[in-house]
């Protein structure tokens, strides 16, 4: 998700093409072409500029609603709703071919990754592996990072946090330093740290082929206790 | 046949050649980017850049081709060429005009209709299965089922203009 203001000019984006299965957008105001995954201008007057990343979350509806009971939801456009993706879209699309393939690490092109680009490193965390481990403790670049699976067992958030954190038997996250219990928002609900919140890190859900294509130097998380590669 | 047409200074050939030239240019400016920037085809970085540069000048090129073809056609027909050449010149000009019209169409927005100005409903009144995925920014949620179709929603959330992309 991107901010669409650049030097005080608000851009309106249109779908304008596809590049190796990642789409291109064109802004109405300057005619610049932008790559969706990177938010970078690739051709036209604003080529070389970057849009500002707006932190967003991919969550299940029930989890988001529990956090934002007064929130609002984008309405369908009735004329197009018949063409919207089915609920099992992510399963069906696995069969859809790709034009790129990066067989390193034994991944299939459409294996789903949680990609983090931060602190000088691009690192991919296989989504299914993260779901299995529920709490991942790792490093990205210079910083310690944790990935936490939400109470719905499907939503994942990443935080900048060291390995003081662990999963309590009841499934909640605690830290050994203060004995506080932390929720999925990354905020301490009790204990000495009550009220404190961890720094969020943007993790993008993407197919392996797409993530790898735009992050050619990406490293990959191989599982708890496995050597970094 | 009147000798003056065949031998005079206003020989029709240059006008016809101009129409054919505009036809070639008009087709190139439409076909090349559509050939490169299409789904299910691997694109090299160089050809993508070339296609985007072509796109940048596409409207201008198509406009100039259409104008030049029409002027050349008028000029050509006033020289009263034979019936066959007339039909060829008119057909070629028609194709140039079709290319120019086609360049005004966003094929990708024909395939995936744009979301337009977004409207919202309260979460409590939203009928979505609990396990449906949404892309969320604070108090706003964008169901994946619809944004994976529209791909882009131009929105303003909390006073900040954002592009929701998927």
Q: How confident is the model at residue A54 (pLDDT cuts 50, 70, 90)?
A: very high
Confirm if A116 and A158 have CB atoms less than 8 A apart. Answer: yes
Lowest mean pLDDT among A97-101, A162-166, A177-181: A97-101
Mean pLDDT of A54-71: 94
Are B28 and B94 members of one domain? yes
Residue B11 has a pLDDT of 57
Residue A70 has pLDDT above 80, yes or no: yes
Per-residue pLDDT tens digits for B107-120: 888 888 899 899 99
Q: Percentage of chain A surpassing pLDDT 70? A: 97
Q: How confident is the model at residue B4 (pLDDT cuts 50, 70, 90)?
A: very low
For residue A218, what are the contacts with CB-CB under 8 A and spacing of at least 6?
A115, A122, A123, A124, A211, A212
Structural domain boundaries of chain A? 5-43, 62-161+198-229
ipTM: 0.87
Are B144 and B80 members of one domain? no
Q: Percentage of chain B surpassing pLDDT 90? A: 69
Residue B1 has a pLDDT of 44
Half-sphere exposure of B112 (CA within 13 A, CB side): 20
**CA separation (Å) from B72 to A20, B62, B80, B89?**
41, 15, 13, 9
Are B73 and B127 members of one domain? no
Residue that terminates a domain, selected from B59, B74, B105: B105
Are B39 and B97 members of one domain? yes
Are B94 and B132 members of one domain? no
pTM: 0.84
Residue B107 has a pLDDT of 87
Domain that holds residue B51: 3-105
Residue B74 has pLDDT above 70, yes or no: yes
Half-sphere exposure of A177 (CA within 13 A, CB side): 9
Closest CA of chain A from B153, distance in Å: 8
Residue B116 within any structural domain of the chain: no
Closest CA of chain A from B104, distance in Å: 12
Q: What sign for the dihedral angle of Cα B151, A98, B49, A37?
A: positive
Q: Looking at chain A, which residue has its C-alpha nearest residue B122?
A: A72
Are B100 and B138 members of one domain? no
CB < 8 Å to B59, chain A = none
Tell me if chain B has a CB within 8 Å of the CB of A166. no
Number of separate domains in chain B: 2
Q: How many residues does chain A have?
A: 229
Are B32 and B77 members of one domain? yes
Confirm if A205 and A89 have CB atoms less than 8 A apart. Answer: no
B161/A5 CB distance under 8 A: yes
Nearest-by-Cβ selection for A12 from B120, B142, B154:
B154
Residue A170 has a pLDDT of 83
Mean pLDDT of B45-65: 93
């Amino acid at each position: 998700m991107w901010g669409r203001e650049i030097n005080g000019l608000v851009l309106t984006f249109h779908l304008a093409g596809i590049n190796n299965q990642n789409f291109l957008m064109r802004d109405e105001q300057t005619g610049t072409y932008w790559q969706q995954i990177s938010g970078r201008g690739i051709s036209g007057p604003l080529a070389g500029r970057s849009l500002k990343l707006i932190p967003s979350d991919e969550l299940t509806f029930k989890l988001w609603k529990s956090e934002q009971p007064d929130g609002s939801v984008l309405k369908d456009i009735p004329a197009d709703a018949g063409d919207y993706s089915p609920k099992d879209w992510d399963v069906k699309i696995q069969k859809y071919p790709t034009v790129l393939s990066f067989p390193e690490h034994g991944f299939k092109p459409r294996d789903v990754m949680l990609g983090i680009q931060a602190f000088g490193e691009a690192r991919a965390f296989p989504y299914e592996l993260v779901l299995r481990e529920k709490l991942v403790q790792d490093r990205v670049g210079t910083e310690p990072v944790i990935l936490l699976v939400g109470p719905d067992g499907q939503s994942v958030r990443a935080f900048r946090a060291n390995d003081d954190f662990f999963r309590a038997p009841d499934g909640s996250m605690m830290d050994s330093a203060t004995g506080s219990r932390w929720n999925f928002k990354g905020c301490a609900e009790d204990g000495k740290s009550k009220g404190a919140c961890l720094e969020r890190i943007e993790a993008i859900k993407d197919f392996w082929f797409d993530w790898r294509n735009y992050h050619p130097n990406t490293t990959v998380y191989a599982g708890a206790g496995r050597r970094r590669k | 046949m009147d000798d003056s047409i065949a031998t005079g200074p206003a020989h029709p050939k240059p006008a016809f050649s101009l129409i054919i030239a505009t036809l070639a240019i008009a087709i190139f400016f439409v076909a090349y980017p559509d050939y490169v920037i299409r789904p299910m085809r691997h694109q090299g970085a160089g050809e993508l850049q070339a296609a985007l540069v072509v796109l940048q000048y596409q409207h201008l090129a198509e406009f100039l081709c259409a104008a030049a073809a029409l002027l050349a056609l008028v000029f050509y027909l006033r020289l009263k060429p034979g019936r066959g050449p007339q039909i060829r010149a008119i057909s070629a000009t028609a194709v140039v005009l079709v290319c120019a019209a086609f360049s005004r169409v966003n094929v990708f927005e024909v395939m995936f209709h744009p979301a337009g100005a977004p409207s919202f409903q309260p979460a409590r009144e939203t009928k979505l299965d609990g396990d449906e995925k949404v892309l969320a920014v604070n108090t706003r949620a964008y169901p994946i089922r619809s944004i994976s179709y529209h791909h882009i929603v131009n929105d303003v959330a909390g006073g900040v203009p954002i592009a929701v992309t998927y």
